[in-house]
Amino acid sequence: MFKFVDCIDAGTEYCPCYLAEKGECIICSQLKGRAFCDCLNWKGTCIFQEYTWNNNKAKKARDFKEYVLKSINFLRDDLIIMEVFVNPYLAKQLNNIGSYVFLKKPQSPHCFAMPVSIMKSNIKNNVITMAIKILGVKTKDILDCKEKVEIKGPYWNGVQGQIFLKNLKNSEILISARGVAASPCVMVANKLKKHNNNVIVILDKGRSNENFAKKEFLDLGCKVYDVNMIDYSNYTLKDEFKKLINELMRKHDFKVTMSGGSDEFHRLYLNYIYSVNKNLNFATVNNALMTCGEGVCGSCHLKLCNGQVIRGCKQQYNPAEVFINIKGDVNI
């Protein structure tokens, strides 16, 4: 089977990383305890060469830095939009599909750091926008931020199946999103629009009767539909949602669909799409639990259908291999 092995950091200025130093590089056999080349996914640079030229050390890792908080807006008592002034470098780096940062209150210990997707990054005024759902210890701690926040970044693995999004030009995509997972989908829609794609968005009405990101999608020129997606009595897709999907699939020639929700939602949604049309490629919001973002701590590890364990914070997978039930029946 085609080994779809990809490290989102490979070939960037953060590569090689600690993993290479310890002989655990995801891509390079020479940095994985072997003595000969067996490059798993060439991204235009030789990681072993970079490592050697860097005096056999990892490149400098990302670190927390303080930035000025621009605003916190409560959309509901448990949903905020946060805007932060970052530097031009970070704004540019975060203006990409799948961007996320680690965020914490200044002085709070590192265990309070939480991964947050970037919804928008404005490279003119260097303001980044994030949507945060207040859930537990870390998110409550963030609410106490007054003038400053601490941010560690940039990271890029917030969306899985990026290869399908980045290759999409002059085409059509269907995005289905609910709750706070709509936030990274805004960035995706933004980038896909720039490549002249027709972006159709279905949003879950949820508790507020309208997703907070609806206006963002409309501003980008996407066509947006509101439905109730989930029948909570048995956690299945509602008929009205399925009907809308069928209708849209008849009308449009979608090449890719993106799922913005929990892993349970990905599974329900993608399998339904797959039952209607087996030729679509999938992208998903990455729900892996992340703590370090550097492939070290192991909290993001997950098992693919072939039994291989991967690091969700750094590694890309084909969502079809994770969420679709029919093994090996998916084109990538």
Partner 1 sequence: MMVIVIGGGWAGCAAALQAKKCGAEVLIIEKTDMLLGLGNVGGIIRNNGRWTAAEEMIALGGGDLFEIADRCARHKNVEFPGHKHATLYDVNIIEAEVRKYLYSMGINIMFENRVVDVEMEGRRIKSVYLHDGTEIEGDVFIETTGSTGPIGNCLRYGNGCSMCILRCPSYGPRISISMRAGVEDLQGLRGDESFGAMSGSCKLEKDSLSKELQEQLDKDGVVVIPVPKEDINLDKLKNKVCQQYALKEFAENIVLLDTGHAKLMTSYYPLEKLRKIPGFERARFIDPYSGGKANSIRYLSMAPRDNHMKVVGIDNLFVGGEKSGLFVGHTEAIVTGTLAGYNAVRAGLGLNLVELPTSLAVGDIIKFENESKQTIEGLKQRYTFAGAVYFERMKELNLYITDVDKIRKKVEGLFLKDFFKNKII
| Range in contact with partner 1 (rule: CB under 8 A) among 43-51, 78-86, 119-127, 289-297 | 43-51
Residue 293's binding partner out of ligand FES, partner 1, none, with CB under 5 to 8 Å set by partner kind: ligand FES
x/- mask, ligand FES, residues 274-293, rule CB under 6 A, reads ----------------xxxx
Name the residue nearer to ligand FES (CB basis): 151 or 229. 151
Would you state the structure tokens that stand for residue 262, as one six-digit string?
A: 């929990």
Among 58, 273, 313, 330, binds ligand FES (CB under 6 A): 313
Find all residues with CB under 8 Å of 208, minimum gap 6, and list them. Answer: 75, 76
* Long-range contacts (CB closer than 8 Å, 24 or more residues apart) made by 16-23: 16/47, 16/50, 16/51, 16/54, 16/58, 16/59, 17/58, 17/59, 17/61, 17/294, 17/295, 18/58, 18/61, 18/294, 18/295, 18/296, 19/294, 19/295, 19/296, 20/47, 20/51, 20/58, 21/57, 21/58
Task: Determine, following the binding rule CB under 8 A, whether residue 38 of this chain makes contact with partner 1.
Answer: yes
Q: Which residue has the tokens 């990455």?
A: 286
From the list 215, 210, 250, the residue with the least C-alpha distance to 227 is: 210
| CA atoms of 254 and 171, how far apart (whole Å) | 7
With beta carbons less than 8 A apart as the criterion, state whether 300 and 313 touch: yes
Residue 52's binding partner out of ligand FES, partner 1, none, with CB under 5 to 8 Å set by partner kind: partner 1
Name the residue nearer to ligand FES (CB basis): 18 or 85. 18
Task: Determine, following the binding rule CB under 8 A, whether residue 49 of this chain makes contact with partner 1.
Answer: yes
| Range in contact with partner 1 (rule: CB under 8 A) among 31-39, 137-145, 147-155, 229-237 | 31-39
Task: Determine, following the binding rule CB under 6 A, whether residue 299 of this chain makes contact with ligand FES.
Answer: yes
Residue 276's binding partner out of ligand FES, partner 1, none, with CB under 5 to 8 Å set by partner kind: none
x/- mask, partner 1, residues 4-23, rule CB under 8 A, reads x-------------------
Residue 39's binding partner out of ligand FES, partner 1, none, with CB under 5 to 8 Å set by partner kind: partner 1
Least spacing, CB of residue 100 vs ligand FES, in Å: 11
**Residue 320 CA to chain centroid, in angstroms?**
16
Task: Determine, following the binding rule CB under 8 A, whether residue 35 of this chain makes contact with partner 1.
Answer: yes
C-alpha Rg value of the chain to the nearest Å: 20
Task: Determine, following the binding rule CB under 6 A, whether residue 114 of this chain makes contact with ligand FES.
Answer: no
Task: Determine, following the binding rule CB under 8 A, whether residue 329 of this chain makes contact with partner 1.
Answer: no
With beta carbons less than 8 A apart as the criterion, state whether 186 and 217 touch: yes
